Amino acid sequence: MNRLPLLPRTIRTALPALPTLLALVSSFLLFMLFLGVQGKPSWEACRLVFEGAFGSVFAWENTLQRAAPLMLTALCVALPAHAGLIIIGGEGALVLGALAAAVLPRIVPGLAPLPMLLGMGCVSMLAGGLWIGINGWMRQKRGLNETIGSLLLSYIAIALFNQLVEGPLRDPASLNKPSTPPLAEDYLIGPLSESFQVHWGLVAGVLACVLAHVLVRYSVTGFSLRIVGGNVRTARMVGLPVDRLVLLTCVLGGACAGLAGMFEVSAVQGSANAALIAGYGVSGILVAFAARHNPPGIIVCAILLGGIEASGSLLQRRLGLPDATTLILEGLLFTNLLAWEALWGRIGRWRLYLGERYERRYAMEAQHG
């Protein structure tokens, strides 16, 4: 048994992170260049990005709070992606999940807080799961392109949401901001602790990512999913229930987005209204692709994106830079990630090469020894 020495072994394990690291470095260099060309203090801006995102306890609160819903909406993209689907309609699942959670206390009033919150979580996941599930079903049974389908269904979901919130479900007291009736104080989810102002959606997000990782990496279902995603003909040939697996990922993904909606209602807004349609579903797509649909990677990428958004706020206030600066940094980061992705094939070869080189050396040493 040959074990690699420590240094090459570390290099070998760390190699997959190389594209991400290079993307970080190159996008920040480009960002500084971009600011420098316009005569803005580029070094100061980078320092503020760090300070605003991770520089203090408050900055961490700010970052994690913004990251929490993105973890859940990113799973709505990543889970179906493992079965080879590109679903981009998480926004629709989120708003319907939010609406379901907001109306539950009206349908079954008077429950104790804990059962009510669990109930709200369940109905929101049901609503979200159903909505993305329709996508999976239409693709498998009707041959409809799931990307276009999910995008259009998302528009329909938002229209439905607006129609209900501004019509039959509207609280008559919400004069200029149509909303459902506010949740009772008992049904609101508070922060993790008074000294750490991040709501429980973060815990749900991390937990969902961990569970998703276990599912796709360590379960038989996950293994089957990889075959379905890799080559659907092979999957059918070996007798895998392709339709059921595809549907399962869609329902689970949609349930995650729906749950994000429930937290937006019970931990942030206190009712369902149009402020929920804030683009979390869209940012989730970005996060999922940047993380290459890998659930632990989603946690990291969501925190990164949350951090950039948090620091964008500081950049505006300190340097008077327009809000679009944040978008430029985000854009640079994600295009660079995709560009460095091209290294991926080579990294596989490097890893093999590292292994082979040492094997040869050991073999030679064994001969001479």
x/- binding map, residues 317-336, to another protein, per CB under 8 A?
A: x--x-xx-------------
Which 74-103 residues touch another protein, going by CB under 8 A?
A: none
Nearest to 132 by CA among 82, 73, 180, 215: 73
DSSP 182: P
The residue (of 80 and 270) whose beta carbon lies closer to another protein is 270
**How many of the chain's residues bind another protein (CB under 8 A)?**
34
DSSP 179: B
User: Alpha-carbon distance 172 to 162, whole Å?
Assistant: 15
Q: Which of 90, 181, 270, 284 binds another protein (CB under 8 A)?
A: 270
What's the closest the beta carbon of residue 165 comes to another protein, in angstroms?
11
Binding of residue 180 to another protein (CB under 8 A): no
Instruction: Using the rule CB under 8 A, give the single segment among 11-19, 56-64, 145-153, 239-247 that binds another protein.
Output: 56-64
Binding of residue 176 to another protein (CB under 8 A): yes
User: Alpha-carbon distance 196 to 359, whole Å?
Assistant: 51
The sign one gets for the Cα dihedral 325, 328, 332, 333 is positive
Token pair of 63, please?
């970052």
What's the closest the beta carbon of residue 204 comes to another protein, in angstroms?
15
Q: Cβ distance 52 to 309 under 8 Å?
A: no
**How many residues make up the chain in this entry?**
369
x/- binding map, residues 288-317, to another protein, per CB under 8 A?
A: ---------------------xx--xx-xx
What's the closest the beta carbon of residue 35 comes to another protein, in angstroms?
18
Q: Which of 92, 178, 205, 295 binds another protein (CB under 8 A)?
A: 178
Is 24 exposed, middle or buried, given 0-12, 13-18 or 19+ CB atoms closer than 10 A? Answer: middle
Q: Cβ distance 146 to 85 under 8 Å?
A: yes
Give the residues lining the site for another protein (CB under 8 A): 52, 58, 61-62, 65-66, 162, 166, 175-178, 182, 197, 199, 264, 268-270, 273-276, 278-279, 309-310, 313-314, 316-317, 320, 322-323
